[in-house]
Chain A
Amino acid sequence: MFLYLKNICKSFENHGKKELVLKNIRLRVEKGEFVSLLGPSGCGKSTLLSIIAGLEKPTDGAVYLDEKPVIRPGKDRGMVFQQAALFPWLTVEENICFPLRKEMKKKEALAVAHKYLELVQLRPYAKYHPHELSGGMQQRVAIARALAMDPEVLLMDEPFSALDEQTRMMLQQELENIWMETRKTIIFVTHSIQEAITLSDRIIVMGRHPGRIIKEFSVNIPRPRNEYLHEFSAYEKEIIQLLKLEIEKKEEVDSSYAVSS
């Protein structure tokens, strides 16, 4: 087994009260798999991703990558955030070279950067600065930057949610192509049901109060999936049903808070 989350719990102090954000998350991810974490806001899916990245520590439990426990951020886990998080003082190619500069010479690093710019179809923009690119292009550079350090896993935290609809669809398509080409393991956090069905091998549906896994789906539709509307909508219906229960439950919790406070 490749990536293993062993009984992850996470709680925060909130106004002196302990709030359980993640409860007993157990998950295995195989090499080369495309897994989505899907759930309403507040289900802890981004926190879970941060824990896998090593940016946050779990209150209890542990993450294992290739049998080794994850304790801090590292280059074996590349991360793409909701904002591109490119460094504005560097050009596009320098941004991609950022994680490479320690282990290789400038020339080699540039060659790698250009290869991955090719992959996201932005080779002509190597010398541009981030502020000269559109949001979608910036996000593609961020993906290239994460891939260029050749990580074991690519972690993506709602990477397309700040983009407009057309750009989002284009990038989903592109990400699918990149995944098929590189066969990287990808863990993809999203709140969009369509996005999860379009892209993933497996969808982990999460609920809230506390954040936990409520169900797993393997998506058995041939790719590209937009040609299989019937199967697609069957999955969609089932997940909507599942999340609806979750959101209704959440409203009950909210109103009980409202009464008690």
Chain B
Amino acid sequence: MQLAVKRIIFFISVFLLWELLIRVMSVPAVVLPAPSDIFLSLKESVADGTLFRDLSASFFRLFIGLLLALFIGSALGILLAKSKTADETLGSVILALQSIPSIVWLPLAIMWFGLNEKAVIFIVILGGAIVMTINVRTGLKNISPIYIKAAQTMGSKGLDLFFRVMLPASVPYFVTGTRLAWAFAWRALMAGELLSTGPGLGYTLKYASDFGRMDMVMAIMIVIALIGILADLVLFRRIEQKVRMKWGLEQN
């Protein structure tokens, strides 16, 4: 409770100070809008429904892209963990790809798929799949050998061992991988939409920027931040913590 109170007071004073400075120094809204302008712009986009239209368009791409990213990432992660040759060859490519921000692929993606949904979804998949691959691989490689030995003495081997012991044992890494994949995919999505077509949050942001509507730009930035925080803190961190506790990786 103490913490929440502290934060509320902090944010209120930041906004008040911001508003005050803008008015006293009469900063033009094109340079930096006042919080009240941002709020009005947010209200407007809620009222005329554009915010929800953009949100649903963005979430549709995110959902498809993230789902495919998790699927591809899991498959690749399992392959790298199980095959030494794949790990030594393909694994190095994946590590190299990790250091390229996925948005850098957009020009190529537009050449391949055209200036449309598919190009953006491709960027989202790339953003999420690589981090998922790395986490799944690490998870499978780090299974405590005692679980494997115990299962073997109970007659488990081959596929049975893989599905009943190795996969469940690495679930905490799957969860962490999903959380990170979401974070990467979300950023990739915004960047992709910014440089591609609409509708979508990123596209509307670009549109607002072209017309010098910095109040709308900041309103969308706040929406992007809120969604990011909500998904990460409220959803993924909680699941992750619960799983890690149950798997005995953390004491409460």
A residues with a Cβ closer than 8 A to B are 53-55, 72-75, 77-79, 81, 83, 85, 87-89, 98-99, 102, 129-131, 145-146, 149, 155
Contacts and interface: CB of A to CB of B under 8 A. Distances in A.
B250 to A, nearest CB: 10
B153 A77 contact: yes
Contacts of B171: 89
A131 B248 contact: yes
Contacts of A146: 153
Contacts, number: 61
A87 B167 CA distance: 12
A55 B149 contact: yes
Nearest to A90: B168
Contacts of A85: 146-147, 149-150
Contacts of B153: 53-55, 73-74, 77-79, 146, 155
Contacts of A88: 246-248
Contacts of A102: 155, 160
29 contacts: A53-B153, A54-B153, A72-B157, A74-B153, A74-B155, A75-B154, A77-B153, A79-B150, A79-B153, A81-B149, A83-B146, A85-B147, A85-B149, A85-B150, A87-B169, A88-B246, A88-B247, A88-B248, A89-B168, A89-B169, A99-B155, A99-B156, A129-B246, A130-B248, A131-B246, A131-B247, A146-B153, A149-B155, A155-B153
Nearest to B150: A85
Contacts of B156: 98-99
Interface of B is mostly: helix
Nearest to A82: B146
A89 B150 contact: no
A98 B155 CA distance: 10
A88 B146 CA distance: 12
B245 A87 contact: no
B164 interface: yes
Contacts of A98: 151, 154, 156, 164
B165 interface: yes
Interface in B203-252: 245-248
A79 B247 CA distance: 22
A89 B147 CA distance: 12
A155 B149 CA distance: 13
Given A74-B153, A74-B155, A88-B247, 19 more contacts: A54-B152, A54-B153, A55-B153, A73-B152, A73-B153, A78-B154, A79-B153, A81-B149, A83-B146, A85-B149, A87-B169, A88-B246, A88-B248, A89-B247, A98-B156, A130-B248, A131-B245, A131-B246, A149-B155
B155 A75 contact: yes
B114 to A, nearest CB: 44
A85 B146 CA distance: 6
Contacts of B146: 81, 83, 85
Nearest to A145: B154
A55 B164 CA distance: 19
A145 B151 CA distance: 11
A97 to B, nearest CB: 11
A87 B168 contact: yes
Interface in B119-172: 146-147, 149-157, 160, 164-165, 168-169, 171
A186 to B, nearest CB: 15
A85 B168 CA distance: 14
**Most A CB within 10 A of own CB, among B152, B153, B168:** B153
Contacts of A145: 154
A153 B152 CA distance: 15
Given A89-B247, A98-B164, A81 B150 contact: yes
Contact of B147 (A73, A74, A87, A131): A87
A155 B150 CA distance: 12
Contacts of A89: 168-169, 171, 246-247
Nearest to A53: B153
A73 B160 CA distance: 14
Nearest to A56: B149
A129 B243 CA distance: 12
